[in-house]
Amino acid sequence: MAEAGTLQDAFLDELRDTYDAEKQLTKALAKMAKASSSPDLREAFETHLEETRGQIDRLDRVFESLDEKPRGKHCDGIAGIIEEGKSIMEEDFDEDTLDACLIAAGQRAEHYEMAAYGTLVAWARCMGHEEAADLLQQTLDEEKAADEKLTQLAESGINQQASDAMQGGDEEEEGEEEEEQQPASRSRGGRAASGAAVAKRSSR
Ligand SMILES: [Fe+2]
């Protein structure tokens, strides 16, 4: 009978899975940045893309600290999340709604990574891999910050604009004048999505 795997084996397995997940995400984040209409959202994805490249380098150092060769193992979990994000980008959404959906997809990925790094940090500490634990904790902190940034973007205007775009769309079907009275509810947005909304929007 083969020898049972140890926590160290499971740890290396998770590290390889995460290494591959980060590589898949570099490609996905570039596409999500491109698909974003909000300049702030695009910048958030681009910033996190740069961070992700740093996270891959950091994982190289984690493997090194364990005297292991860095290598990835296909991560099915993140592949599924990326696949879902891709199908959202193929849908025919207005740009505000697509931005809201991109945030939703991005946060799914961040939470997946937070779960992975949370486990990796805990296991590394348990087994006394202090250097690895510190490096992994740095990445966990970055993932949490990226997730919070997406929440902040969603709540500071993007979700509301998507919701308002829906109301605007309904009214257009009934008549144009109603649209003129709508802007008061659009004042939370940070971006000029339509001419009617510009005047009411406070600059930040
Ligand atoms: Fe990451």
The pLDDT assigned to 177 comes to: 44
CA of 132 to the centre of ligand 1 (A): 16
CA of 56 to the centre of ligand 1 (A): 8
CA of 153 to the centre of ligand 1 (A): 19
CA of 11 to the centre of ligand 1 (A): 17
The pLDDT assigned to 188 comes to: 40
Helices 7-35 and 76-90, packing angle to 10 deg: 10
CA of 183 to the centre of ligand 1 (A): 38
- Residues of the chain whose pLDDT is less than 50? 172-204
Q: Which CATH architecture has domain 7-198?
A: Up-down Bundle (1.20)
CA of 152 to the centre of ligand 1 (A): 19
187 DSSP assignment: T
CA of 63 to the centre of ligand 1 (A): 16
CA of 52 to the centre of ligand 1 (A): 5
CA of 154 to the centre of ligand 1 (A): 20
The sign of the CA dihedral 45, 76, 114, 13 is: negative
The DSSP code sequence of 71-123 is -----HHHHHHHHHHHHHHHS---HHHHHHHHHHHHHHHHHHHHHHHHHHHHH
Ranges of each domain in the chain = 7-198
CA of 143 to the centre of ligand 1 (A): 6
CA of 33 to the centre of ligand 1 (A): 15
CA of 7 to the centre of ligand 1 (A): 23
The pLDDT assigned to 187 comes to: 40
171, HSE (Cβ side, Cα atoms, 13 Å):
14
The pLDDT assigned to 181 comes to: 45
The pLDDT assigned to 76 comes to: 97
Helices 130-153 and 39-65, packing angle to 10 deg: 170
Give burial (CB, 10 Å; 0-12/13-18/19+) of 103.
buried
